[in-house]
Amino acid sequence: MAEAEEDCHTDLVRTDDNDRSGEANLQAELQMFRAQWMFELAPGVSSSGLEPLPCRASSRGPGVKSVDARGKQEIAKEEKAKELFLKAVEEERNGALYEAIKFYRLAMQLVPDIEFKITYTRSPDGDGVGKRCIEDNKEDDKMADLLSDFQQQLTLQESSVKLCQPEVDVSQTHISALPLEVLMYIFRWVVSSDLDLRSLEQLSLVCRGFYICARDPEIWHQVCLKIWGRSCNKLVPYASWREMFLERPRVRFDGVYVSKTKYIRQGEQSLDGFYRAWHQVEYYRYLRFFPDGQVMMLTTPEDPQSIVPRLRTKNTRTDAILLGHYRLSQETDNQTKVFAVIMKKKEEKPVDYHKYRYFRRVPAQETDHSFHVGLQLCSSGRQTFNKLVWIHHSCHITYRSTGETAVTTFDIDKMYTPLFFARVKSFTAFSEKPL
């Protein structure tokens, strides 16, 4: 019994010694890790961990081997972080943003500055990202020359070239049987006198033949002439008339420019004098441009849902609408401005001669009122040419008897809020005349 107890006691002592030595080794490794971590945080030192530790850590023989092993681990960790980062880039390119965020987070947990160590020459699967970038560039080049590509394909198909072919057998006459001149006339009806180029672009998605017809330079040239007039005789610096239409500043015709103004004014004092009411005034301004150079302006407290349908044509019966003409002006400061002269509709009122039968009255002087408006054309957000900023507003009163004109210029303050464009589908729902 005594020998068994002595053996048991010896085993316990050995276990305690082993635990103490293991704990000492763990403390030593922890101290080495802290020293290496502080060394990496020092300025001018890379995080790869390949430099030796201070003398206290390198003075031990096993410590040098552990530093080398740790350097290899850091290199492996950096490689893993690179793979995760490139995987995140690929997921982001494919549109999987949540997956990309997950991989970005994992990569930065391994190496915080991994973004600055990526050369983008390899991918997680070895060659996927690099090859995919090359393929994307080739696809972009191909899309840029898509029109000539379609024209060559149609030329090489048959001796009797047709712009399109029926996808299935039909018993009725297919649109491909129409002559090219008739098809182009249909396309002009699609564009219409309202310059509905959005419908033309949608029509070009039907087939390759319609794509070629929709890129006809003559259509786009006539559109540019209707918008800018004689100032667009030269194509330079644009590569095509379509590019001029897309990039050159212009007002939009498929909707209205709307602004909403709010202010608070003081009302009349109550009869008992205890309180004075305050009123919140809210009204809208609407501007509707037409391709023929005419413009409509309306200021009203009614909301857009009830007013916008009345602005489709110039023959509206709304009494408060002002009609006029506008022009585009591109100044030397490379800013496009819109200047318009608008006035109220002239209504012929019959003269009531019986009103002045029994007494003599001096008739009031006949006057003509016109408003001169200046706006700066801007782009905001993802849309182009969708914002008009006030730069001038004045009222001109001309006396017919003398021909004199009195001008009143209004101060452009916070009451003149910018007008933003809103597309109205009903404005281009049907065509009245071809282009």
In-domain check, residue 428: no
In a domain, 128, yes or no: no
Are 155 and 234 members of one domain?
yes
The number of angstroms, rounded, from the C-alpha of 173 to the middle of its chain's C-alpha atoms is 42
Q: Is the pLDDT of residue 133 over 50?
A: no
Same domain assignment for residues 270 and 224:
no
Whether residue 282 is found in the same domain as residue 405: yes
Q: How many CB atoms lie within 10 A of CB 85?
A: 24
> Does 259 share its domain with 226?
no
Which of these three, 212, 247, 282, is where a domain ends? 247
Of 197, 214, 247, which residue sits at a domain end?
A: 247
Mean pLDDT, to the nearest integer, of 275-281? 81
Residues 224 and 303 in one domain: no
Judge if 309 and 409 occupy the same domain: yes
Residue 288's pLDDT is 92
Q: Decide if 169 is inside a domain.
A: yes
Could you list the residue range(s) of the whole structural domain that residue 413 is in? 255-347+364-423
Give the Cα-Cα-Cα angle 283, 287, 288 (nearest 5 degrees).
140
pLDDT tens figures, 160-187:
556 677 777 778 887 877 888 888 898 8
Where residue 57 falls among pLDDT bands split at 50, 70, 90? very low
Residue 241: inside a domain: yes
Chain centroid offset of residue 283 CA:
28
Which one is predicted more confidently, 47 or 355? 355
Q: pLDDT value at position 54?
A: 46
Least confident interval from 44-58, 159-173, 386-400: 44-58
Give the mean pLDDT of 378-383: 83
Domain count, the chain: 3
In the three-class reduction of DSSP (H, G, I as helix; E, B as strand; rest coil), residue 61 is classed as helix
Q: What's the pLDDT score for residue 34?
A: 73
Please check whether residue 43 lies inside any domain of the structure: no
Q: Give 313's strand partners.
A: none
Same domain, 405 and 262: yes
Does 9 fall in a domain? no
390/415 same-domain check: yes
- How far, in Å, are 87, 125, 289 from residue 134 at the CA level? 17, 16, 45
Distance of CA 301 to the CA centre of its chain: 30
What is the torsional sign of CA 258, 259, 265, 270?
positive
In angstroms, the CA 424 to CA 421 distance is 10
Q: Are 161 and 183 contacting, i.e. CB atoms less than 8 angstroms apart?
A: no
* Residues 413-429, mean pLDDT to the nearest whole number: 87
Tokens encoding 83: 């793979």
Please give the C-alpha separations between residue 136 and each of 120, 128, 140, 141, in angstroms, as whole numbers. 15, 12, 6, 9
Q: Does the pLDDT of residue 188 top 50, yes or no?
A: yes
Question: Rounded to whole angstroms, how far apart are CA atoms 128 and 89?
Answer: 12
Residues 226 and 184 in one domain: yes
Average of per-residue pLDDT values in the chain: 76
Facing residues of 174 across strands?
none
- Between 345 and 249, where is the model more confident? 249
Residue 295: both structure tokens together: 């413009």
Q: How confident is the model over 34-50, as pLDDT tens digits?
A: 777 766 665 544 444 44
Percent of the chain surpassing pLDDT 90: 8
Q: Which residue did the predictor score with more confidence, 126 or 332?
A: 332
The upper half-sphere exposure of residue 229, i.e. CA atoms within 13 Å in the direction of its Cβ, equals 6
Boundary (domain end) residue, out of 191, 223, 247: 247
Instruction: Give the mean pLDDT of 409-421.
Output: 88
The phi and psi torsions of 386 (rounded to 5 degrees) equal: -110, 15
Band of pLDDT at residue 154, cut at 50, 70 and 90: low
Asked if residue 71 has pLDDT above 50, the reply is: yes
Q: 12 CB contacts (<8 Å, ≥6 apart)?
A: none
Residues 287 and 149 in one domain: no
* Across 120-129, 270-279, 331-340, least confident range: 120-129
Same domain as 169, residue 111: no
Tell me the pLDDT tens digit for each residue of 297-316: 998 888 888 888 888 888 87
Which tens digits make up the pLDDT trace of 221-261? 888 888 888 777 777 788 888 888 888 888 999 889 999 88
Please count the other Cβ atoms lying within 10 Å of the Cβ belonging to residue 169: 6
- Calculate mean pLDDT across residues 71-85: 83
Residues 314 and 242 reside in one and the same domain = no
Looking from the CA of 138 toward its CB, the CA atoms found within 13 Å total 6
**Summary count for the chain: helices (H), strands (E):** 12, 9
The verdict on residue 202 lying in a domain is yes
Is the confidence at residue 157, as pLDDT, over 60? Answer: no
User: Is residue 334 a part of any domain in this protein?
Assistant: yes
- The terminus-to-terminus CA distance of the chain in angstroms comes to 116
Its sign, for the CA torsion 132, 136, 141, 143, is: positive
pLDDT-based confidence at 420, cuts 50/70/90? very high
Ranges 223-232, 281-290, 320-329, 340-349: which has the least confidence: 340-349
